[in-house]
Structure 1
Amino acid sequence: MKSEIKLTILKLLKFIIVLMIIDFGLGFIAKEVFFSQKTGKFHRTTYAIKKSKDDILIFGSSHAHRHYVPEVVERQLSLSCYNAGAEGQQLLFHRALQKMIFKRITPKIIILNIDENFLFKSDIAFERLSDLHPYYSDYKSELHPILRLNSSMIDFKMLFKSYQTNSTLVHVIKYYLKPQQDYKGYRPLFDETTANKIESLEKREPLKEYEEVIDDIFVNTLVDFIEEAQAKKIKVVFVTSPNLILRDITKNESLLKIKEIAKSKEVIFIDFLNSPNYLNKYNLFHDASHLNDKGAKLFTSSVSKIIKSSI
C-alpha cells in the first residue's frame, strides 16, 4: 500500500515537472512574440512603458487615442508628445500604465482625457485589466495592487507563464496579419457622420458598461493618479472631449465628483463636453462619440493653446 502511494506521488511530481517545463517553454515563446510586435494596441502600450521619452504623455480611452494628435501638440507647445490612449480602458488601466511608465521616466505634463462615467461601477473596467498580464513579470510591484482588485488568486495565476499572454495571442496574430498604422500613438478616423447615421444608431439598444453608482475604488485610483504625478512635479491636466449632440450632464455624479477632485488637487480641468464649436458639426465627427481627423486636429489645437496659456 505504501509503495503504491509513493508511486502515485512520484507520478504526480513528474507530471507537475513536465507541466512546468511545457508552461515555461510556451510562456517564453509567447512572451518573445508578444514583445516583438511592431504594430497594434499592445505595441503602443509597450512603447509607452519601455521606450517613450516624451515630455507630454496622453492617457485615456478611445477618446484619447482618437482625439489627440501629438504632431499638433508638439508644434504648439514645443515639447515632444506621445499618445498612450488605449481603446476601451478605464481608470485602473491608466493608473497601472502610469505607474509602469514612472518607473523609467518622468514626463513634464500628463493629459488625462476624462470620460464622464469614469467613477461609476463597472465590471468591464476590471475584466479588461487582462491586457496588463504580459507585463506582470517585469512590473509585479506596480501591477499587483491593481490586478488583485479583480482576482485574489492573481499570484497563483501569474505563476503560469503561458497564462500571462494567453488572452493577448489573438490580437498579436491579428496585428501581424493586418498592421495598424499610428502617428505617435494617435490613429485617425477619416469618415464624416451624418444626422441619418446618428438617428439609426440611437434606435439600437446601447451597451451598458457601468452602473450609475460611484465606486470608491475608482475615486481612490483617480486621486492616486494625481498625487503621484504631482509628487514628481508633473503638471496634470484633465480634458473632456466634445459631444456631437447636446447632452445634459449637469447631474452626472461621476463627472461632478471628478471636477470636485480636480479642484481640490489644483488640477487644470479643460471642459469641451458641450462646446458650441462642436455641437451638431457632423463634418468634425466620425460617429456620435468620436472626432474624425479634421475634428481631432482642431480639438488638439484648442487644448494645446489652453495648456500653453496655463503653464
Structure 2
Amino acid sequence: MKRFIKTLLSFGIFAILFFVVALYLWGNNSHPLLKSNVIYQKGTTGHLNSRLKEVKDIKNVDLLFLGSSSTYRGFDPRLFEANGFSSFNLGSSAQTPIQTKVLLKRYLESTNPKRIIYAMNPEVLSMDGVESALDLIANDTSDANSAKMAMTIHHVKVYNTFIFASLQQVFGQHMSYQKKSSKGIDTYISGGFVEREMKYFDPKTEKKLKTKDITVNYRKDQLKAFEDIINLIQARDIELILINAPVTSYAYNSYTLKQKKQFDDLMSSYADYIDFNTVLKLQDSLHFYDPYHLNQHGVELFNKKVIEIIKQ
C-alpha cells in the first residue's frame, strides 16, 4: 500500500511538471488559434499595459478613478489637472470588483488618493470576471493576489494563463512588451485615459443594441469583492464616491425601473452615490460613439459636471 501511494505521488508530481512545461512551450510556440485556453494578450485596445507601467511611478494623487471601460474612456486627467486636481485612471476593460480589489491591493498605498471615484453598473456585478482577469494577468505582475483571483474565478482559461504568465515572469519575459501610445483610433493619454477619435453614435444603424429589458443577477463572489473594496477604502479613511457613468438612453432604458432602483439602493447603502444618467442630460447622437461610451465632447461635459460636484 505504501509503495502504491509513493508511486501515485511520484506520478502526480511528474504529471504536474509535465503539464507546466508543456503549457509554457505551447503558449510560446503555437498559433493563437490553437491555444484558446491560454489567453495571454499584452497591449490590448484598453492600453492596460501602458497604464500599469505608469501607475508604478504615481504618488499621492487627489483623485483615483476605478471601474471598467466607461472609466478609462470617461475620465480625462487633463481636464481635472486644468481644474487643480492631480489624478490617475486605473480603469480596465470589463473590470469587475474582483479585479478592482487586486488593483487596489497593489496600488492604493502608493497612489495614496484623497478621494476615489468608482464607476459601477449592474452588469459588472453580474459578470464572471474572466475577460478582465485575463487582461490583468497578461499585463501586470503575477503574485499571490493573481493566484487568489484565479481561484476565486475558478476558470480553466484564468488558471492556465496565470501559470503561463508566472513562468514568463520567472524567465524575465513578462514585462518586456513596449506598447505604442496610439493603436488604430485610440490614443493613450498619460494618467490612464484612452482617447477615441471623434465619432458620433447613430442609433438608426445600431442593429446589435438590445432594447428589451435585460436580466441582472448579482454574483455572490462579485458582491463579496465589492464589500472588501469598500472596507479597504474605509480602513484608509479615503473619501469614496460611487457613480453610474452616462450611457445612451437606449442602453440605460434596457434596465427596468425595478432593476434601476435595486442598483441605486445597493450603491447608496455603501457610500455617496450619483447616477449621472439622471443628473446629466446628454444626447445619444452627439455625446457618445457607441451605446456605452462617451465621445470626447461627452467626456468634457461629464468631467465638467464631476468637477463641479467635487468642488461643492
Letter in 2 for 1:286: Y
How far residue 237 of structure 1 moved from its aligned partner, in angstroms, is 0.9
The match for 2:244 is: 240
The answer to whether residue 299 in structure 2 is matched with residue 296 in structure 1 is yes
Q: Is the 8 A contact 1:243 1:274 kept in 2?
A: no
* Equivalent residue for 1:65, pick from 65, 68, 72: 72
Higher relative contact order (CA 8 A, sep 6+): 1
Aligned length: 275
Residue-by-residue CA offset, 1:171-192 (whole Å, 9 max, x unaligned) = x587599584324211222424
Partner Cα separation in structure 1 for residue 239 and residue 306 of structure 2? 15
The answer to whether residue 200 in structure 2 is matched with residue 200 in structure 1 is no
Matches within 5 A, 1:47-58: 47-48=54-55, 50-53=56-59, 54-58=61-65
How far residue 36 of structure 1 moved from its aligned partner, in angstroms, is 11
Letter in 2 for 1:119: L
Residue-by-residue CA offset, 1:114-133 (whole Å, 9 max, x unaligned) = 2232222x23x234312233
Distance of aligned partners of 1:114 and 1:176 in 2 relative to their CA distance in 1, 3 Å threshold: closer
Q: Is the 8 A contact 1:242 1:272 kept in 2?
A: yes
List gaps (5 residues or longer) in structure 2: 1-9, 29-40
Larger Rg: 1
Distance of aligned partners of 1:193 and 1:56 in 2 relative to their CA distance in 1, 3 Å threshold: same
Q: What's the % identity of the aligned pairs?
A: 21
* Equivalent residue for 2:229, pick from 225, 233, 258: 225
How far residue 58 of structure 1 moved from its aligned partner, in angstroms, is 0.6
Please identify, of 91-100 and 281-290, the stretch whose mean Cα deviation from structure 2 is larger.
281-290
The answer to whether residue 153 in structure 2 is matched with residue 150 in structure 1 is yes
The match for 2:105 is: 99
The answer to whether residue 115 in structure 2 is matched with residue 109 in structure 1 is yes
Distance of aligned partners of 1:289 and 1:133 in 2 relative to their CA distance in 1, 3 Å threshold: closer
**Secondary structure at 2:293 match in 1:** coil
Distance of aligned partners of 1:176 and 1:74 in 2 relative to their CA distance in 1, 3 Å threshold: closer
Partner Cα separation in structure 2 for residue 75 and residue 231 of structure 1? 30
Partner Cα separation in structure 1 for residue 131 and residue 286 of structure 2? 35
The match for 1:188 is: 195
Partner Cα separation in structure 1 for residue 181 and residue 308 of structure 2? 38
The match for 1:273 is: 277
Partner Cα separation in structure 2 for residue 108 and residue 218 of structure 1? 25
Letter in 2 for 1:229: I
Please identify, of 146-155 and 87-96, the stretch whose mean Cα deviation from structure 2 is larger.
146-155
How far residue 252 of structure 1 moved from its aligned partner, in angstroms, is 5.2
**Secondary structure at 2:299 match in 1:** helix
The match for 1:128 is: 132
**TM-score, normalisation: structure 1:** 0.71
**Secondary structure at 1:187 match in 2:** strand
Q: Is the 8 A contact 2:93 2:132 kept in 1?
A: no
The match for 2:31 is: none
**Secondary structure at 2:154 match in 1:** coil
Distance of aligned partners of 1:193 and 1:105 in 2 relative to their CA distance in 1, 3 Å threshold: closer
Partner Cα separation in structure 2 for residue 177 and residue 288 of structure 1? 23
The match for 1:259 is: 264
**Secondary structure at 2:297 match in 1:** helix
Q: Is the 8 A contact 2:63 2:117 kept in 1?
A: yes
How far residue 275 of structure 1 moved from its aligned partner, in angstroms, is 4.3
The match for 2:92 is: 86
**Secondary structure at 1:58 match in 2:** strand
